[in-house]
Structure 1
Amino acid sequence: MLYLCLKYIHVIAAIFLFGFGMGSYLYLIAASRTANPQVIAHVARTVVRFDTWITTPAGFIQIVTGYLLTRLAGLPLTTEWIMTSLIIFLCVGALWLPVLVFQKRLYVMASSAAGDGHTLEDRYSTVYRKWFWMGVLGFLGMFVIVLIMVTKMTPQQWVERLLV
């Protein structure tokens, strides 16, 4: 029963990672396309809060529950599909921290412009592009991790199966 409870929490945490993460990502993209500093500031503030208080803790819950699930199942962390998903998860996590910093910068720049009644500075689009592409890479990694977790196969094993 403990295994099933942990698995449930693990799946719910994955849903939160995707749901809140993707929602925040898409809302900030939509807000940025308006080029309206007030809209961007409002959305960016909410995105920073959600990612700090919901999405990030969900990532830590994933780590803890995933580790406990491997222990209960008697699987070593060196199991190929587990090791592959962990490596990708660490890479996604390495992207996540700068993403949070960039989101905060976007919020500060938009808030400053809105408060001063100015348009966004050119620097906003530079930071936005970095944030956007890190998000694309991060979500691609998350999609691959979920596929690994569901199939218990590495990307190399998928390709080998497809070619047979």
Structure 2
Amino acid sequence: MLYLCLKYLHIIAAIFLFGFGMGSYLYLIAASRTANPQVIAHVARMVVRFDTWITTPAGFVQIITGYLLMRLSGLPMTTEWVLTSLIIFFCVGSLWLPVLVLQKRLYLMASCAVEAGSGLDDEYRSVYKKWWWMGVVGFVGMFVIVLMMVTKMTPVQLVGLLG
């Protein structure tokens, strides 16, 4: 029963990571496309809050429940798909703090533009571009991790099955 409860929490945390993470990402993209500093400031403020208070803790729940599931099932850490998913998870996780910092900068730049009654400058677009690409890389990594969780195989092993 403990295993099933942990597995449930692990899946819920994955849903939160994907759901809130992807939602935040898409909302900030949509807001930025308006080029309206007021819209961007409002959305970016909410994105920073949700990513700080919901998405980030879900990542920690993923680590803890994943480790406990591995221990309960007797699966060694050196199992290829487990080790590969951990490496990708920590690579994606290493993007997380910079993403939060960039989101906060986007919020501050948009807020300053609102206060000054001006538009967004090239610096906003530069920071946005970095944030956008980090999101692309992070979500590709997350898709690969979920694929490994479901199939219990690495991407190399999956490609080998196709060939």
TM-score category (smaller protein): over 0.9
Count of aligned pairs between the two proteins: 163
Which consecutive unaligned segments of at least 5 residues does structure 1 have?
none
Within 1, Cα distance between the matches of 2:117 and 2:3? 55
Per-residue CA distance 1:46-65 (angstroms, 9 max, x = gap): 00000000000000000000
> Once structures 1 and 2 are overlaid, which stretch shifts more, 134-143 or 112-121?
112-121
Does residue 77 (structure 1) correspond to residue 77 (structure 2)? The answer is: yes
What is aligned with 1:16? 16
What is aligned with 1:92? 92
Within 1, Cα distance between the matches of 2:45 and 2:123? 18
User: SS in structure 1 opposite 2:17?
Assistant: helix
Which consecutive unaligned segments of at least 5 residues does structure 2 have?
none
Deviation at 1:97, TM superposition (A): 1.2
Any residues of structure 2 matched to 1:21-100 within 5 Å, and which? 21-100=21-100
What is aligned with 1:160? 160
Per-residue CA distance 1:82-136 (angstroms, 9 max, x = gap): 0000000011001111111100000000000011111112100000000000000
Does residue 124 (structure 1) correspond to residue 124 (structure 2)? The answer is: yes
TM-score for the superposition, normalised by structure 2: 0.99
Within 1, Cα distance between the matches of 2:31 and 2:159? 38
What is aligned with 2:142? 142
Within 1, Cα distance between the matches of 2:70 and 2:146? 16
Q: CA RMSD in A?
A: 0.4
Deviation at 1:18, TM superposition (A): 0.3
User: SS in structure 1 opposite 2:119?
Assistant: coil
Identity in percent: 79
Within 1, Cα distance between the matches of 2:80 and 2:114? 50
What is aligned with 1:133? 133
User: SS in structure 1 opposite 2:118?
Assistant: coil
The residue type equivalent to 2:119 in the other structure is: T
TM-score for the superposition, normalised by structure 1: 0.99
Deviation at 1:72, TM superposition (A): 0.3
User: SS in structure 2 opposite 1:16?
Assistant: helix
Within 2, Cα distance between the matches of 1:33 and 1:160? 41
Within 2, Cα distance between the matches of 1:63 and 1:93? 11
Per-residue CA distance 1:18-64 (angstroms, 9 max, x = gap): 00000000000000000000000000000000000000000000000
User: SS in structure 1 opposite 2:126?
Assistant: helix
Within 2, Cα distance between the matches of 1:63 and 1:114? 39
